[in-house]
Structure 1
Amino acid sequence: MEFITTNHMIEAVGWLAVLFKLATFSMNSMIWLRVLVILSSVCFVIYSALFQIWPLLAIEIILLSMNAYRLYELIALRRLVTHMTDDSEADFSAAMAYGKKREIQAGDVLFEKGDPVDSLYYIAEGLVEIEGQDVTVPAGNIFGEMAFFNSSAQRMATVHCVEDTVVYELNEKRFTRLQYEDPKFAMAVMRLVTKRLVANAAHTH
């Protein structure tokens, strides 16, 4: 009788794992989806270990590890978004690890109005000026990103270097990869784009 009861309990754990797995299909929140998948994997690990179903045990341990890591990433991103304020200083230095380094002399034009969009730039050293807008961009900032969010795919202004400048150039492929791999950078870019859009609208009106 005790043996039957124990087997029933183990089987109940297996059915609980199935229920958690089915519940994931009704989730709209990625965090709760990951939580349910993790709970399902934990139940399947217990179930397969007790019944010695080794292939199932192996795959569920792997899935448990992967989903636990993804859950950690989601929670970290949520904390980042929560703690970022308008007064916090944006950090774009991650672009140096992905971009192509270019050294440009003072007075040289980086790109002209109407040129096709191919890259955005992070300024490691120096200073650039956006012509016609009386705007200068110092080191530690990015520029040229607005074109990636513009359907015209053309530069909206000419940019030249006020002094000797070192930039890191990111094409669209590298920019997309950096946003995916570094959520902090992606959030900083979105905040910058929003601020510049608001500023441009205010200037227009």
Structure 2
Amino acid sequence: MDTSHLTQHVGTAGAVFASVFVVATTTMRTMIPLRVFAILTNIVLIATAIPSRNYLVILVQLLVMVLNTYRLHQMLQLVRDVKRSVSSDLSMEWLKPFMTERRCATGEVLFYKDEKADSMYYIVSGRYRLVESGIELPVGAIVGELGMLSPSNLRTQTLECIEGGVILSVSYAQVEQLYVQNPAFGFYFLRLSSARLFENIDTLEQQLASALAAAKPA
């Protein structure tokens, strides 16, 4: 039985479907639907390459599909972790896979007030203090994110290491890339940053109240 015509028609149909998927991806503004359409394109190209036994195309598309599937899973997991963090303890554990480890020595200044800000930090171990306000940050805290939200991108305080430890850093460029890939990430990040800001305000108000109470004559 001559299957050459069938193979040719299947190949043509596959090329048309793949072209439709490619055009559709150009209309996608966020990464999740883009990855879904890319996976569909991979499947169509694999299906059309099977009748012609084009093993090179099949192998390449399988590899690309695995990569697209992994990236899709990574982005969906990021969104789930951020949502869970917002609704629970405001942990920033979900950001760890995108961060770089850095060891800090006692007395080291990570950044100074009014200098240009380009990254934020997650405290893994050690002790750190915001010099101007005197606030000591616990393990698990994130610091430096407010510089990203300010119009001038300047540090609002100086951060000093008062006991050696390890921090994780992530650049604002990486955070912006995550936002571009998935705007939902930006929304939840903004909520987390706002919560951190209110926590700092509450701490400063408590310190001010304590100072005023101590200054009152007996």
Q: Same fold (TM over 0.5)?
A: yes
Q: Could you tell me which residue of structure 2 aligns to residue 102 of structure 1?
A: 104
Alignment identity in percent? 24
Partner of residue 56, structure 1: 57
Task: Please show how residues 2-151 of structure 1 align to structure 2 within 5 Å.
Answer: 3=3, 6-7=6-7, 10-11=10-11, 13-14=13-14, 15-91=16-92, 94=96, 98-104=100-106, 113-115=113-115, 117=117, 120-123=120-123, 124-126=125-127, 128-131=129-132, 133=133, 135-151=135-151
What amino acid does structure 1 have at the position aligned with 2:165? V
Unpaired runs of 5+ in structure 1? Answer: none
Shift of 1:68: 1.9
Distance 1:114 1:138 in 2: 23
For residues 5-44 of structure 1, the C-alpha deviation after alignment (integer angstroms, 9 at most, x for no partner) is 8447624652333333333333345333322222222121
The equivalent residue for 2:165 is: 166
> Quick one: distance in 2 between partners of 1:5 and 1:12?
11
**Contact (CA 8 Å) 1:99, 1:168: kept in 2 or not?**
yes
> After TM superposition, which residue ranges in structure 1, 4 or more long, deviate above 6 angstroms?
186-189, 200-204
Deviation at 1:120, TM superposition (A): 4.5
SS of 1:84's equivalent in the other structure is: helix
CA pair 130-61 structure 1, distance change in 2 beyond 3 A: same
CA 1:19 to 1:115, structure 2 compared with 1: closer, same or farther past 3 Å? closer
CA distance in 2, matches of 1:78, 1:63: 23
What is the root-mean-square deviation in Å for CA atoms of aligned residues?
4.3
- Ranges in structure 2 where 5+ consecutive residues have no aligned partner: 179-184, 206-218
The residue type paired with residue 74 of structure 1 is M
Report the counterpart of residue 210 of structure 2 in structure 1: none
Whole-angstrom distance in 1 between the partners of 2:21 and 2:168? 46
Change (3 A) 1:147 1:69: same
User: What residue identity is the alignment partner of 2:88?
Assistant: D
CA distance in 2, matches of 1:154, 1:41: 45
> Which one-letter code corresponds to 2:39 in the other structure?
I
> Counterparts of 2:157 and 2:127 in 1: how far apart (Å)?
19
TM-score for both structures, normalised by structure 2: 0.61
One-letter amino acid matched to 2:149 = F
How far 1:164 moved relative to its partner? 3.6
Secondary structure at the aligned position of 1:37 is classed as helix
Task: Decide whether the 8 Å contact of 1:103 with 1:166 is kept in 2.
Answer: yes
**CA separation of 1:164 and 1:13: change in aligned 2, threshold 3 A:** same
